[in-house]
Chain A
Amino acid sequence: MDFGSLGLSAGPLNVWMVWILPFVGALIIPAAARVSKNSSGYVAVAFALASAVSAATLIPLALHNQEIHNQIPWISSIGLKAGILADPLAAIMTNVVAWISFLIFVYSLGYMKGDRDLMRFFFWMSFFIGSMQLIVLSDNFLQLFFGWEGVGLASYALVGFWYRDKKKDHVGTEGRTVLGLLDYYSPTQAGMKAFIMTKVGDIMMLAGMFLIFAFAGTFGFRELAANTSWATAMSSQNLLIPAAILLFGGAIGKSAQFPLNEWLLEAMTGPTSVSALIHAATMVKAGVFLVARLGPLFFALAAAGLNMDQFFEVVAWVGAITAFLLATQGMVHTEIKKVLAYSTGSQIGYMMMALGIAGLSRQFVDGYTAGFFHLISHAMFKASLFMAAGSLLHVVGSRFMTDMGGLRRLMPKTYIFMWAAGLGLMGAPFITTGFWSKDAIFGAVYQSGNTWALPIFIMAVITAVMTTFYTTRMIGMVFFGNKSKHVEHLEKDGYHVHEASPVMWVPYGILAALTIGVGILGLTFEHEIHNIFTTYLSSTFGIQSQVGAVATESQQLLGGFLEGVNPIALTASLSAFAIGFALGYVFYIGRFADPAKFVNSNIVFYAIHKFFLNRWYLDALINWTFVVGPLYLARGIYRYFEDKVMEGFNLVPEKTMAGGARILQSTQTGISQSYLYVFGAGILIVVLLLFI
């Protein structure tokens, strides 16, 4: 496509505009809201569209492997500059972000209709994508961190959007406790939790940034890549890998990876469009993007002979563990958004796994592409799923899947779109993007040749089984079977469960269609990205991809059609899908067996189910260790140390002074003789003093 002919050519201004426009929109929204209460939504959509169009002009950069790097003075007293860096990576990412958020904005117009705080909502939404675009387009760590925290802030504000803490906005089952702590979160608490937990990652990232700055004297990505003497210096002090891992800590926090994964579930208290935005386009993708930003740099260092293995191993393992961990939990929960949230975390784990494993293999670009491809496809189907789920919530008025059931006739469009997007999540063979991207990850992992490859691969496959299972379960529970009591109750009251308005279903319809559409062209698409990244990595970082032996082997096996697809990975992927789907079908679509009975039939199953339902006790343990425990401790310190010991600094002088005064006063008896006696004794004392 030639965008130049449309009058849109990529220049620095476009790039700036991509992230500035949403902020401008955010600033205009309050003013607009004064004019008309509903105008804020339209302003936001308009600016989101403008930003998306600006982003679209950057696509040629990706296609032609160009980059725009533009700087302006900022903190000149330290010699820091602000700048934008639009390279192929950023160009692709910014489009994903921009367009998906645009669709979500449109969806929000319908979803949020009638809310009393529209202005605030759209302000923060615009702020959110502005910050995300800032992350994507920054050319240095510091500026990136602005966006990074902006995203955190916006998520805080939006997760806790319904700050009045009504019962329906909570997440979790009321009254349910795990290890004595409520597993029931209000929006405000969830927002706080999200912000603080991600902040833990952020400070790690800050520490990593500072470590690198201390050696390199710059925050700029390009400067860091251009001259790597800093890395050698750091490596000689054994600081390089810690710094890299600390930076990855930021990604762990933002992308809700183990062990900072727990905030993501409670973040479901926000409006669903917010969840869609967080999970598909902005917040959690920021972490992946950061790793994608830095991965090549570190790999280039590794290629230059520095030992970076531990870093990539950590990334891969964190990804694998997260993927597995969250998938297990996704299988048992009954809140639809929560299931989706688990799946997000799990899928992000895949991406991390791929990016990590990329660094461990000779074929860096394979894993890199796989991870990034999965990011794109995940963005599409997860946004779609969330918006569809929002629609369901909107219509049914309950967040529990047990309150739905049998909706396939009442909401046919949503039913179809959800199947499409759900298949994407499951990785339905050959027709969905999810399949191709997951397959690419399996392939990359399998081929990496690392010692850890096999266990990670096995975990990935098991996770895939679980993914398919819980997706099937979700769709089955929502659309199949009989209508739940809740829905019947609603209908008895004269409420007709119906399809949501077009403004809502069109956006997720588009994305669902894309999931299938791109899926059909999946391999070509993957190839295209692969090519882009191959050139990008080699030209920018000097990472040469070797067209290795494995690839040729696969070519031999399946011919040109499946070029680049690893047969074992393919087999694993297909069988995982089959097993998962079959299980899900048995329990939830076909309803041949009652899952509850099945679980209760066996103490082992029951225990496992409870273990998963209690989120592996992770949330409770974290709460005990870092929230409740310290609070008790703080109270103790306050009561027994601050209020007693430290207060002594006030009381002891007061008491001693009063006591001393009393004693001294008692010496002043008023009797002259005793005075004179003291005088006489005083002479002796003074003389004695002088003799000393």
Chain B
Amino acid sequence: MLDFTSTPIILTLTLGAVGVIIPVISAARKEKNDSLYGGIAFAALAAAIGFVAYQIISKHVLPAAIFSKGVLANDMFGSFFAIAMLIVGIMTTVGSFNYMKGRANPAVYYSLIILSSIGMVLIAYSTDLVMLFVAWELMSIPTYVLAGFLKKDPTSNEAAIKYFLFGALSSGIIIWGISLAYGLTGSTNIEQVIAGFSHLSPDMMPLAILAVGMFIAGFGFKIGLVPFHMWLPDTYEGAPPTISALLAAGTKKAGFAAALRVIIMGAIALNLNWSLALAVIAVVTMTFGNLAAIRQKNLSRMLAYSSIGHAGYILIGLSIAPFSAIGIAAALFHILNHAVMKAAAFIAVAGIITTLSISHIDKLRGLGRRMPITSLGLVISLLALAGVPPLNGFWSKLMLFGSAINAGASVSWAPYLAVAGVLNSALSLAYYGWIIRKMYFEEGESEKRVKEPKSIIAVMIFSIIFMVGIGVYPDPFIQFAKSAVPALTSLSAIH
């Protein structure tokens, strides 16, 4: 039954209503007033974030748990993601004000962003595989459309088709995985699935492993894990940059929420030697992302590869979750940070594209003087992505690598994860530095300052404050991330 006091339900209903109503309003109204729909979406999302924050502060949220009897859990874990995802939603929305100006179908655009945001939020709240799957699809389907939203732009369409094909395949794989899990345990509620997994007879184990493998593939596609990453650079490059922001900062992170709920828990329950497999994937992923980014000439594409790299970092936290107390907290913290950093970077790119119509890195010469605030935002987000102190990216990477080293006490390979991560961070400086060099140290053809869109400036200022603020005084957010960590000890109760 619907529990109308539960945070996720309220979010779903209110935001869903707004999301559905916006196109209706648009159909009813004759004149096209782009900023109205954006404004509504912004207001709705802001209200939602305020509501979640209120729920957290007023302690109407359960402590972070993995399980509940229903399909949704009103817990800290979900709320943490809700805040992160809604921030991304807001940044995308605001960042799109300028981008969507004069483009067709703004109402649908904002409505789809809202609907997709609901999907992302609900994934984190889900405690049932069916719910998870449905939320997953709610997140995905609008983004297929959004990625191909520039109907006259062939690359946008190509990006959308590639994205869609992968998305469809992966939802098939996820359902396959769910079906196996259901078949083995007779339930779709994660608690019971896990319980069932942990009492599995040995001859059924291969099936459970197969299920976990399929979950990894299915969710890993969104996350951008190698070898399920191939669509990602193409799509991020071709899609409108604001939507790339949503994909990189939002859907990707929601994928981690799903992965955490399903893969990690399932694997732990199965007592698999799974973490090494994840660790291998993590290392391959981060190396692939950072290495391939080096020679990129398109800003969005470079950021896309960088986000593959970051998926690898975050996966470190997941893969050593059983061995280190702060592994998951670190991953969560990095998810939040990366969401903001990547969103800021992509929105800066959107700003650059809309005002100057350039996305080639060699053409960024002298940008630092042409668009100072956007450039500053981009630089700071790039440095934060690289993990340069004192910016927020530094702290979460610190925790990630720290947890890996910490886990070295239990598993001997864990420290090498940190080594790989650290080397990759250093490697990533090569291409981030490249962009910075182009923007600031090279003379452009024109040095005249151009007018920067106000909405982009707003996003930039917000993200600069966010990144530097956390960088200087990270403690509250570290605590927040820690509070959102599900207690893995509850698993032992099942055993």
Contact = CB atoms under 8 A, between A and B. Distances in A.
Nearest to B216: A686
23 contacts: A658-B294, A658-B295, A660-B291, A661-B294, A664-B288, A668-B233, A672-B162, A672-B165, A674-B230, A675-B162, A675-B166, A675-B231, A676-B165, A679-B169, A679-B230, A682-B217, A683-B217, A689-B213, A690-B209, A690-B273, A690-B277, A692-B276, A692-B277
A661 B227 contact: no
A689 B292 CA distance: 24
B430 A682 contact: no
Interface string B268-283: 0000111011001100
Contacts of A679: 166, 169-170, 217, 221, 227-228, 230
The 9 closest A-B CB pairs, nearest first, are A675-B230, A687-B213, A682-B227, A689-B277, A664-B292, A661-B294, A661-B295, A683-B217, A686-B213
Contacts of A678: 227-228, 230
Band of interface residues on A: 20 to 34
Interface string B155-187: 000000110011001100100000000000000
A670 interface: yes
A681 B274 contact: no
B234 interface: yes
A681 B280 CA distance: 16
Contacts of A689: 213, 277, 280-281
Given A675-B162, A686-B277, A668 B230 contact: yes
Among B209, B277, B281, residue most surrounded by chain A Cβ atoms (within 10 Å): B277
A691 interface: yes
Interface of A: 657-658, 660-662, 664-665, 667-668, 670, 672, 674-676, 678-679, 681-683, 685-687, 689-692
B214 interface: yes
Contacts of A690: 209, 212-213, 216, 272-274, 277
B373 interface: no
B210 interface: yes
A111 to B, nearest CB: 61
B200 interface: no
B420 interface: no
B427 interface: yes
A689 B161 CA distance: 30
Contact of B227 (A665, A685, A687, A692): A685
Contact of B295 (A662, A672, A681, A687): A662
Contacts of B221: 679
Interface of B: 161-162, 165-166, 169-170, 173, 206, 209-210, 212-214, 216-217, 220-221, 227-228, 230-231, 233-234, 272-274, 276-277, 280-281, 288, 291-295, 427, 430
A687 B165 CA distance: 22
Contacts of B291: 657, 660-661, 664
Contact of B173 (A664, A675, A683, A691): A683
A368 to B, nearest CB: 68
Contacts of B234: 668, 670
Interface of chain A, helix or strand or loop or mixed? Answer: helix
A477 B467 CA distance: 89
B292 A661 contact: yes
Given A672-B161, A689-B277, A690-B209, A657 B427 contact: yes
Contacts of B216: 686, 690
Contacts, number: 83
Contact of B273 (A667, A682, A692): A692
Contacts of A685: 227
Nearest to A657: B294
Contacts of A683: 173, 213-214, 217
B169 A676 contact: yes
B60 to A, nearest CB: 39
Contacts of A661: 291-295
Contacts of B214: 683, 687
B303 to A, nearest CB: 15
B277 A681 contact: no
Nearest to B170: A679
Nearest to B163: A672
A672 B292 CA distance: 18
Given A683-B214, A690-B277, A692-B276, 12 more contacts: A664-B288, A668-B234, A668-B292, A675-B230, A679-B166, A679-B217, A679-B228, A679-B230, A686-B277, A687-B214, A689-B281, A690-B213
B321 to A, nearest CB: 16
Contacts of B213: 683, 686-687, 689-690
A672 B216 CA distance: 21
A672 B165 CA distance: 8
Given A665-B295, A690-B274, A690-B277, A657 B430 contact: yes
Contacts of B295: 658, 661-662, 665
Contacts of B162: 672, 675
Q: Which of A675, A682, A686, A689: most chain B Cβ within 10 A?
A: A686
A686 B281 contact: yes
Nearest to A653: B427
Contacts of A675: 162, 166, 230-231
Nearest to B267: A690
Nearest to A691: B209
Q: Which of B209, B234, B281, B291 has the most CB of A within 10 A?
A: B291
A548 B209 CA distance: 104
A681 B169 CA distance: 13
A366 B286 CA distance: 84
A652 to B, nearest CB: 14
B180 to A, nearest CB: 11
A347 B216 CA distance: 91
A660 B305 CA distance: 14
B379 to A, nearest CB: 22
Contact of A686 (B217, B288, B293, B294): B217
Contacts of B206: 691
A691 B212 CA distance: 11
Contacts of A670: 234
Contacts of A687: 209-210, 213-214
Nearest to B289: A664
Nearest to B208: A690
A690 B212 CA distance: 8
Contacts of B273: 690, 692
Nearest to A685: B227
Nearest to A679: B228
Contacts of B427: 657
Contacts of A691: 206, 209
A668 B228 CA distance: 12
Nearest to B226: A682
Nearest to A687: B213
A679 to B, nearest CB: 6
Contacts of B209: 687, 690-691
B270 to A, nearest CB: 9
